[in-house]
Homo-oligomer: A and B are copies of this chain.
Amino acid sequence: MSQVSILVFDIFGTVVDWHGSIVRELSAAHPQVDADAFARAWREGYQPAMQRVRSGERAWTRIDELHRGILDEILPRFGLDHLDEDQRARLNRVWHRLDPWPDSVPGLTRLKARFTLCSLSNGNIGLLTNMAKRAGLPWDCVLSAEVFRAYKPDPRVYLGAAEVFDLPPAEVMMVAAHQDDLAAARACGLATAYIERPLEFGAAHVKDVSPDPANTRHARDLLDLAEQLGC
* Chain A contact residues, CB within 8 Å of chain B: 64, 116, 118, 124-126, 128-130, 132-133, 140-143, 146-147, 164-166
Using Cβ atoms and an 8 Å threshold, which residues of chain B touch A165?
126, 129-130
A130 to B: closest C-beta gap in Å = 8
A143 to B: closest C-beta gap in Å = 8
Complex contact B141–A129 (CB within 8 A): yes
Complex contact B142–A141 (CB within 8 A): yes
A158 to B: closest C-beta gap in Å = 15
A149 to B: closest C-beta gap in Å = 10
A5 to B: closest C-beta gap in Å = 10
Number of copies: 2
Using Cβ atoms and an 8 Å threshold, which residues of chain B touch A132?
140-141
Q: Which of B130, B133, B142, B166 contacts A126 (CB 8 A)?
A: B166
Using Cβ atoms and an 8 Å threshold, which residues of chain B touch A116?
129-130, 133
Complex contact B166–A64 (CB within 8 A): yes
Complex contact B164–A125 (CB within 8 A): yes
A169 to B: closest C-beta gap in Å = 14
- A133–B118 Cα distance when bound, in Å, is 12
Using Cβ atoms and an 8 Å threshold, which residues of chain B touch A164?
124-126, 129, 146
A204 to B: closest C-beta gap in Å = 34
A123 to B: closest C-beta gap in Å = 12
Q: Which residue of B lies closest to A65 (CB)?
A: B166
- A64–B125 Cα distance when bound, in Å, is 23
- A133–B138 Cα distance when bound, in Å, is 11
Complex contact A129–B140 (CB within 8 A): yes
Q: Which residue of B lies closest to A118 (CB)?
A: B129
- A50–B142 Cα distance when bound, in Å, is 25
- A164–B142 Cα distance when bound, in Å, is 12
A selection of 14 A-B contacts at a CB cut-off of 8 Å is A118-B129, A125-B141, A125-B147, A125-B164, A126-B165, A126-B166, A128-B141, A129-B140, A129-B164, A132-B140, A132-B141, A140-B142, A146-B164, A147-B147
7 extra interchain contacts, Cβ-Cβ under 8 A, other than A126-B164, A142-B142?
A: A116-B130, A129-B141, A129-B165, A130-B165, A132-B141, A141-B142, A146-B164
